[in-house]
Chains A and B, each alone.
Chain A
Amino acid sequence: MKTFIIITTFLVSTMLTAQTQYETGMQKALSLWGEGKATEATALFERIASAEKSNWLPNYYIGMVNTTEAFNPKNKDKVASLIEKAQDAIDQASVISPNNAEIMVLQAMLYTAILVQDPMTNGMKYSGLAMEQYYKAQAIAPNNPRVMFCKAEFEIGGAKWSGADTKPMCAQIAKSIELFATFKTDTPFAPNWGLDRAQEALKGCK
């Protein structure tokens, strides 16, 4: 009996430890990213991904951190490596979690990052690829606020160039803000960003 308790306790505790390690790890990594320490955050997410091989979130964040970094003009010299790193992580995340609208939004953002490196060369191809991801994501999760907002924001970017009317996109952004209010994540650390950016973008509409 004693041994049974010990073993059970041990198992429970290791499981709990693992859970906690994941949580502390994710919290730490997210706060490192919040402090602007992208390399350190990526390193930690990588370690978490290596331990949590069936969880798509660590890879999602590796993709997110490196995509965001690729947009930063300071990283011009290593932008190709950042894009490659983000793409690898997105690929792995979508193997773990196929047909995930959040990952599709991230993939579209990465395509946008590639596009802005040289719009004259990449514009046509990558705007098509990004839109394809948004359409797919929209079909899977029509009420996901990030899908709605990011798609509209991307379309506004294109409209600036072509002079098309941005009113319908602005309406979509406004609608996404309503969706943000009711959006609930199903797991801890699941993507829940975008409301502030949507509010900011809506200001630009007026």
Chain B
Amino acid sequence: MFVLDAILSHQNTTSMKTFYNLVLFFISVTALAQNEISGTVLDEKSKPITGANIYIDGSYDGASSDENGKFSFTTTTTGNQTLVISFITYENISVSIDVTNAKNKTYKMRESVNTLDAVIVTAGTFDAGEKARVSVLKPLDIVTTAGAMGDIVSALQTLPGTNTVGEDGRLFVRGGEADETQTFVDGIRVAQPYGATTANVPTRGRFSPFLFSGMSFSTGGYSAEYGEALSSVLLLNTQDEMVEEKTDISLMTVGLGLANTQKWGKNSISFNTAYINLEPYQKLIPQNADWNKPYQSLSGEAVYRYNFENGLFKLYAAFDAAQFDINQESINSANKTRIDLNNNNFYLNASYKANWSNQWQFFTGLSYGFGQNKIGINVDDAQNDEHSSHMKLRLKKSFSDRVKLTFGADYFITKFDESFKENLGDTFAIGYNANIVAAYAETDIFFSKNFAMKLGARLSNNDLLNETVLSPRVSMAYKVSKNGQFSLAYGSFTQAPRQEYLKYADYLSSEKASHYILNYQYNKDRRTFRAEAYFKDYADLVKFDTDSPQFNSNYFNTGEGYAKGLDIFWRDNKSIKNLEYWVSYSYIDTQRDYRNFPTEVTPNFVAKHSLSVVSKWWINKLKSQLSITNSFSTGRPFNNPNEANFMAGRTKGYNNLSLGWSYLLTQQKILYFSATNVLATQNVFGYEYSNTVNANGTFDRREIRPTADQFFFVGFFWTISDNMKDNQLNNL
């Protein structure tokens, strides 16, 4: 009423009568409108919450709860109002109340599941990038890991659950073949994720880390959103937004690179091109392989983005043309086999993501991939063309912070043609068309901050194989302590047989695997420990009855196998200042009966024990980052026809110690040196045996060795931007 007095004191002309009227009026208004709102704010365990903010939306009326969770205030609002209760790390409450009838009510607040310390379903998955809450790898790691040479795949091989297969270069996950891993860019499948190569010449992933901001690598038990992968999925996400315009220039001993980002209005475009030629390097470093023409490639990638009010359109395109010419040794022929390979690859991926009202999220995308290999094998010519496309639709609805539903559909088209022309002879042609249509649905439920579950299923139909499969997937996580949690996952996975069988035998059915995973993760203050035990059951693997898969072989789905093991991961970014390191250890016991194996054995790409230690040390005085990676694995199986048992031989262990040194000349200029296998360990990946016995009645053999024991690399990386802080440290 002070205000009233104040006003009245200014109004000298007002008569006493009016004054009384006014006072009466106000008293009556106040008397009518003053309502007490009171109650108690409790948490889920009925313990009081102190300091919660309780107020009537759109008014000043409110209070904070006391140490007993109690609050009380009066309001001049009338009728039905919205009472809002907020407290940090808890979900806001918004309730409709009648102000005359809101006394001594009890309100229960639930802990927000959006906090950093909430449980998260982690079984099988390693996440990297800013969107991941528990990030095992950082985007920077891909590139600053010594020995990775900017190859995403090589960096992932330092994680547990993978096997380093030096003569191949692809990802082998938990006893699975390399093609059991599928790669997705922005949720859309990439049919040809690796560069073309030939036997015993390792390949690399096609994608430069330059354009990607996050990734998720799953070694099993993954979401129903992803299909056609028996072992693993690798999800790469291109950057949603470019912060600034810049140009990156790379001068390397193996080639040149140029990248540029432009921004205008709601548009931005980034491109990245590289020309790689290994000739100077191969001249300098002794090669185990006999090259006619060293590897060279021209590649380019571009991402265009357009921001809508509530959506984002992205177009990603990648082109690469590669060629090399090599003379391959074989123990079975006196003359080397000349392989002259030309590969052209084009990939286009368009996606649109939008946030609709009512917590709906819409995503659609389309990809087209074209891969062509022209291979000269001595005087004969082979060519294969693969056209592949993936169309995808996904809808996500958040009913609350706690319940989310995702569903969608996929359509995969693959057209494969291959021809083989004998010199001056006949031409053989073969091919197939496969269409796969699939639908999936998955729900994410948080029962509490400590208990979450993911439940889904995928239904897919392959018209070439004429089959329909339903694959259920379940995973859950339970938090047992402040920093520790358990996750469990089960899933059933299917994948159409690989190209080399499918082109001859469309009567086959899909191969199958079931994953069972138990994971424990402890995460505290930049230190992460995780241990994961798994069991994987393979069924319906393809077998054939000849030395190699041919048009006249008989194919069966009678193969089977298993893999079980333990993966341990420890990462510490805290204990020692400026030093980050991680240690991965994998133990695997796996056997499979597939291909033309006479019995169930451990295949040749599996090492029983693998250990990787990766460390990065920032030396402030030298303005340098020193990185050291050591990878070790025990011997791999090989088949020795001189022995009675199939696949009973074991190579010696594999070891590779790599070093990397990045030196900041200025903030935007970096000099980078790296060397792999500095100890010059003579690694042997396996043996090739002769088909026939020699004079002593035994089979001769030849070692399969790396194309070169060591790799040296020097590069200069220069970034030009307005913001003088940016550099290419994350591309090295």
Within 8 A of A (CB), among B673-732: 722-726, 729-730
Of A76-84, A179-187, A195-203, the stretch lying at the interface with chain B is A76-84
Neighbouring A residues of B140 by C-beta, 8 Å: 120-121, 124
Report chain B residues within 8 Å CB of A127: 723, 725
Q: B723, A9: Cβ atoms under 8 Å? A: no
Cβ–Cβ contact B88 & A131, under 8 A = no
Chain A: minimal CB distance from B91 (Å): 11
Partner of A2, one of B21, B53, B62: B21
Restricting to A78-129, which residues have a CB under 8 Å from any CB of B?
A: 78-82, 84-85, 118, 120-122, 124-125, 127-129
> Among the listed stretches B109-117, B171-179, B442-450, B532-540, which one makes contact with chain A, having 4 or more residues with CB under 8 Å of it?
B109-117
Contact of B115 among A46, A81, A164 (CB under 8 A): A81
Determine the distance from Cα of A121 to Cα of B130 in the docked complex, in whole angstroms. Answer: 8
Question: Are B3 and A50 closer than 8 Å at their CB atoms?
Answer: no
Tell me whether B88 and A78 are in contact (CB under 8 A).
yes
Hey, what's the 0/1 contact readout for A154-186 against B, CB within 8 Å counting as 1?
000010001110000000000000000000000
Q: Are A16 and B3 in contact (CB under 8 A)?
A: yes
Of B21, B86, B724, which contacts A6 at CB under 8 A?
B21
C-alpha spacing A9/B29, complex, angstroms:
14
Residue of A nearest to B722 (CB): A135
Q: A162, B18: Cβ atoms under 8 Å?
A: no
**Would you call B64 and A43 a contact (CB within 8 A)?**
yes
Asked whether, in the complex, the Cβ of A131 is within 8 Å of the Cβ of B725, the reply is yes
Q: A25–B60 contact, CB under 8 A?
A: yes
Shortest Cβ gap from A123 to chain B (Å) = 8
A6 to B730, CA, bound (A): 71
Q: Is B480 an interface residue (CB 8 A)?
A: no
CB distance from B90 to the nearest CB of A (A): 9
**0/1 string, A1-41, CB within 8 A of B gives 1:** 01001100110110011001110010000000000000110
Q: Which residues of A contact B135 (CB under 8 A)?
A: 121
CB-based contact B726/A124 at 8 Å: yes
Distance between B588 CB and nearest chain A CB, rounded to angstroms: 30
Q: With A and B bound together, what is the CA distance between A71 and B244 in angstroms? A: 26
**Residues of chain B with a CB closer than 8 A to A128's CB:** 243-244, 723, 725-726
Hey, which chain B residues are within 8 Å of A158, CB to CB? 667, 725
Residues of A within 8 A of B27 (CB): none
Residues of A within 8 A of B330 (CB): none
Q: Does A51 contact B (CB under 8 A)?
A: yes
A79 CA to B53 CA in the complex, in Å?
19
Q: Are B60 and A162 in contact (CB under 8 A)?
A: no
Question: B243–A6 contact, CB under 8 A?
Answer: no
Given contacts A13-B7, A131-B723, are A42 and B53 in contact (CB under 8 A)?
A: yes
- Give Cα distance in the complex from A77 to B14, angstroms: 60
Q: Are A84 and B84 in contact (CB under 8 A)?
A: no
Per a CB cutoff under 8 Å, which of A22, A39, A135 touches B51?
A: A39
Determine whether the beta carbon of B51 is less than 8 Å from that of A40: yes
Q: How far does the Cβ of B307 sit from chain A's closest Cβ, in whole Å?
A: 14
Q: Does B106 contact A (CB under 8 A)?
A: no
Indicate if the CB atoms of A5 and B14 lie closer than 8 Å: yes
Given the complex of chains A and B, what is the CA–CA distance between A10 and B57 in angstroms?
23
Report the minimal beta-carbon distance from A21 to chain B, rounded to whole angstroms. 5
Main SS class of interface, B: loop
Distance to closest chain A CB from B348 (angstroms): 27
Give chain A interface residues in 130-171, CB to chain B under 8 Å: 131-132, 135, 158, 162-164
Can you name the residue of chain B whose Cβ is closest to the Cβ of A22?
A: B60
A48 to B55, CA, bound (A): 10
Chain B nearest CB from A62 CB (Å) reads: 11
What residues of chain A lie closer than 8 Å to B86, measured between beta carbons? 43, 46
- Expressed in whole angstroms, the minimum distance between the Cβ of B505 and any Cβ of chain A is 48
Least CB distance, A81 to chain B, in whole angstroms: 5
B55 and A46: CB pair below 8 A?
A: yes
- Whether A47 contacts B53 by the Cβ 8 Å rule is yes
Q: Does B11 contact A (CB under 8 A)?
A: yes
| Residue B399 at the chain A interface, CB threshold 8 Å | no
Query: Which of A51, A81, A135, A163 is within 8 Å of B60, CB to CB?
Result: A51
- Whole-angstrom distance from the CB of A94 to the nearest CB of chain B? 15
Task: Indicate whether A84 sits within 8 Å of B723 (C-beta atoms), given known contacts A50-B55, A125-B243.
Answer: no
B51: nearest chain-A partner, CB-CB:
A39
Inter-subunit contact A50/B58 (CB<8 Å):
yes
A125 neighbours in B (Cβ, 8 Å): 130, 213, 243
Q: Is B59 an interface residue (CB 8 A)?
A: yes
A162–B663 Cα distance when bound, in Å, is 11
> Residue B22 contacts which of A9, A42, A164 (CB distance < 8 angstroms)?
A9
Q: Does B645 contact A (CB under 8 A)?
A: no
Q: Is B666 an interface residue (CB 8 A)?
A: yes
Specify the chain B residue showing the minimal Cβ separation from A43: B53
Min CB distance B71 to A, Å, is 11
Beyond A39-B51, A78-B88, list 20 extra A-B contacts (CB 8 Å).
Answer: A9-B11, A10-B22, A17-B3, A21-B60, A47-B60, A50-B57, A50-B59, A51-B60, A78-B89, A78-B115, A80-B115, A80-B116, A120-B140, A124-B729, A127-B723, A127-B725, A128-B723, A158-B725, A162-B666, A164-B724
Interface residues of A (CB under 8 A from B): 2, 5-6, 9-10, 12-13, 16-17, 20-22, 25, 39-40, 42-43, 46-48, 50-51, 53, 77-82, 84-85, 118, 120-122, 124-125, 127-129, 131-132, 135, 158, 162-164
A–B pairs, 20, beta carbons within 8 Å: A5-B14, A5-B18, A10-B26, A21-B60, A42-B53, A43-B51, A43-B62, A43-B64, A50-B56, A51-B59, A51-B60, A78-B115, A82-B88, A121-B138, A128-B243, A128-B244, A131-B244, A131-B725, A163-B623, A164-B667
Q: Which residues of B contact A (CB under 8 A)?
A: 3-4, 7, 11, 14, 17-18, 21-22, 25-26, 51, 53, 55-62, 64, 84, 86, 88-89, 112, 114-117, 130, 135, 138, 140, 213, 243-244, 526, 573, 580, 623, 664, 666-667, 722-726, 729-730
Which 4 A-B residue pairings sit nearest by Cβ, starting from the closest?
A43-B53, A128-B243, A162-B667, A80-B116
